[in-house]
Amino acid sequence: MKLLRRARRRVPSYGPDSADPVLLTAIAAGEAEALEILHRRHAPWLRARLNYRCSDPDQVDAALQETFLAVWKSAASFTPRPGDTDAGAWLWTIAIRQLISQLRKRANRWIGELETEPYETIGDASAEDTVLLNIEHGPLGAALHSLSPELRAAIQATILDGLTVREAAQILQIPEGTVKTRVMRAKARLREALTS
Amino acid sequence: MSGWHLTPAQAHDYAARRTDEITAMSVEAHLMHCPPCRSMLPADEEWLADGWASLRDVVDRPRRGVVETLLSHTGLRAETAKLLAATPRLYQAWLGSTVVVLIAALAAAHTLPRGSLMFVFLAPVVPLVGVALAYGRGIDPAHTLASVTPMAGQRLLFLRTCAVLVPALLLCTGAGLLLPHTVTAWDAIFWLLPALTLVSGSLLLGRMMHLSVASGVVGGLWVLGLILVSLSGQGVPLGVFAPQAQMWWGVLLATLVGALVFRVRVA
C-alpha cells in the first residue's frame, strides 16, 4: 500500500538547499523532511514580521503552527510563476490570514468562522501599489514619515501585507469603511508628497 | 534588484522589534523579495526545534482511511472506528476464501440440478467461520498484546464479531440475490436467522472453551443436523428454512442473545 501511495506522486529529490517550489512538491507528496526544511527556512522571518502585527507571542506561535499545517495540507495548490524560486509571498499571505483568524478566535467568538479565501500570491498589484512596495528605495520613506500612524497602518495592512479591506478591518479593529477612506486619504497624501 | 540590502545590525534590530514603523515597513517590503536578507534574521534554534516538534506530532499522524472516516461520521468513537476499520486486515484470507466458496456455490446452483442446496448448506456457516477466525490466540498475531489492553475481552470480541458479520452477511446476501430461483428479497435472506443463531451459539459456547473450537462444534452440529434430516428421508432439508421454522430460529436466536447478554452482565 505504501509503495502504491508513493508511486502515485513522484517525489522530487530535494535537500536543504532546494528551492521552495521543489520542497513544496515534495511536501505535497507527503515528505515531512521537506516541511522541516521549509519550516527552518521561513519560520524565523515570518515570526519576526508577525511580531510587529501582534504583541502576544503565544498567538503568533499558534498562527505559525497553523500556517505550516495549512502548507502541509495544501502544498499542492502552490503554483509558482515561471522562474519564481521563492514561496515567501505565498507563505506570508497564509501566515497573516492565520494570525487574523487567531485574533478573531480569541476576541469575538460569536461572529462566525472566518470564511477562508483561497491563498494566492500577492503582488498582482496596481502600478501605484508597486511603487509603494519599493519603499526601501527613494523618497517614499520620507513621505511615509509625514503620514499619521492611522493612515500608515491602513497602507501597511492593505498594500504591504496584501490583505483585503475586510481583513484589514479585522486586524486593525476598525470598520471597513474607515479602512477604505484611510487608504484613499493616505494614497492622496503620498502622491502629493512624491510629486511636489 | 537594486543594491539595497539589510545590514546585519538592521536585521538584528528588526528581529528584536526595535525598528521604528517606517523602517520596519521598508524592511518588510524588501524581505518579501530577497531570500538572502531573510536568512540574515537571527533564528532562535530552541524555538525552531520546539515548533517543529509540535508540527511533526500532527504531520506524522497516519492519515485516516475512507472506511474509518465513514465510521467515525456515524457517531462511533475514534478508537472504535479505527479498530473496526483495521480488523478486516486480520481475516483477509477468510474474506478471499469466502468469495471463492460463494462463487463456487453459485456456479453449482446454476449448472447442477438442485445445486442451490450447496449454497443453502454453506450460507449459515460462512459468517460462523469468520467469527471463529476473528479472535483468538492462534489467529491474531498481536493476540498477546491485545489481551492486555483495556479493550480486550468481551468488548473486543463483540466489536470484531461485528466487523466480521457485516461483510459476511453482505457477501451472502449478494450471492443469495444471484441464485437462479431468487424472485423476492425473502429468497435471498432465508439463511439469515439460522446464521445469526449459529454465531450467537458459538459466542455463548466460546465462554466455556476456545472460540475456534466452539465454532467448530456449532458448525459440526449444523452439518450433522442437515445430514440427518436428509437421511431421514423426509425430503429436502429446505424445510429447515420454511417460514414456520424461521419462527423457531427467531425464538432460539432471541434466547441465545439473551443468555449471552446475561452472562456478560454477570461476569
Domain boundaries, chain A: 1-121, 124-196
Interface probe for B, chosen from A27, A33, A49, A66 (most Cβ of B below 10 Å), is A49
Give yes or no for residue A67 having a pLDDT over 90: yes
Residue A123: the pLDDT is 42
Percent of chain A with pLDDT over 90: 14
3-state class (DSSP) for residue B251:
helix
Q: pLDDT tens-digit profile of B119-176? A: 777 777 877 777 777 666 666 666 666 667 666 666 777 777 777 778 778 887 777 7
Query: What is the Rg, in whole angstroms, of the alpha carbon atoms belonging to chain A?
Result: 19
Question: Which helix (H) or strand (E) covers residue B262, if one does?
Answer: helix B243-266
Domain boundaries, chain B: 8-59, 94-266
DSSP letters of B14-83?
A: HHTT-S-HHHHHHHHHHHTT-HHHHTTSPP-HHHHHHHHHHHHHHHTSPPP-HHHHHHHHTT--HHHHHH
Q: Cα–Cα–Cα angle for A93, A39, A76, nearest 5°?
A: 60
Round to whole Å and give the CA distance between A27 and A24. Answer: 5
- Which of B2, B38, B58 faces A137 most closely, judged by CB atoms? B2
- Which of A44, A69, A144 faces B41 most closely, judged by CB atoms? A44
> Which residues of chain B have a CB within 8 Å of the CB of A41?
39
CB contact under 8 A, A44 and B44: yes
* Residue of chain B whose alpha carbon sits nearest to that of A155: B25
- Which of A61, A135, A145 faces B51 most closely, judged by CB atoms? A61
> Which residues of chain A have a CB within 8 Å of the CB of B2?
137
CB contact under 8 A, A88 and B22: no
Q: What is the dihedral of CA B81, B84, B90, B96, to 10 degrees?
A: -120
Residue A104: the pLDDT is 79
Q: Which residues contact B148 (CB under 8 A, 6 or more apart)?
A: none
Residue B19: the pLDDT is 83
Round to whole Å and give the CA distance between B92 and B88. Answer: 6
Q: What is the ipTM of this complex?
A: 0.73
Low-confidence ranges of chain B (pLDDT < 50): 1
CB contact under 8 A, A88 and B56: no
* Residue of chain A whose alpha carbon sits nearest to that of B12: A48
> Which residues of chain A have a CB within 8 Å of the CB of B59?
32, 35, 69, 72
CATH class of the structural domain A124-196: mainly alpha
CB pairs under 8 A between A and B: 89
Q: Measuring CA to CA, which residue among A86, A83, A84, A45 is closest to residue A67?
A: A45
Do the two domains A1-121 and A124-196 of this chain adopt the same fold?
A: no
Mean pLDDT rounded to a whole number for chain A? 78
| Nearest chain A Cα distance for residue B27, angstroms | 7
Q: Is B15 on the interface with A (CB under 8 A)?
A: yes
Lowest mean pLDDT among A5-14, A117-126, B177-186: A117-126
Q: Which of A90-99, A104-113, B82-91, B220-229 has the highest average model confidence (pLDDT)?
A: A90-99
Question: Rounded to a whole number, what is the largest CA-CA distance in chain A?
Answer: 69
> Which residues of chain B have a CB within 8 Å of the CB of A64?
51
* Cell digits of residue B162: 461485528
| Nearest chain B Cα distance for residue A133, angstroms | 6
- Which of A41, A48, A152 faces B14 most closely, judged by CB atoms? A48
Give yes or no for residue A114 having a pLDDT over 90: no
CATH class of the structural domain A1-121: mainly alpha
pTM of the predicted model, to two decimals?
Answer: 0.57
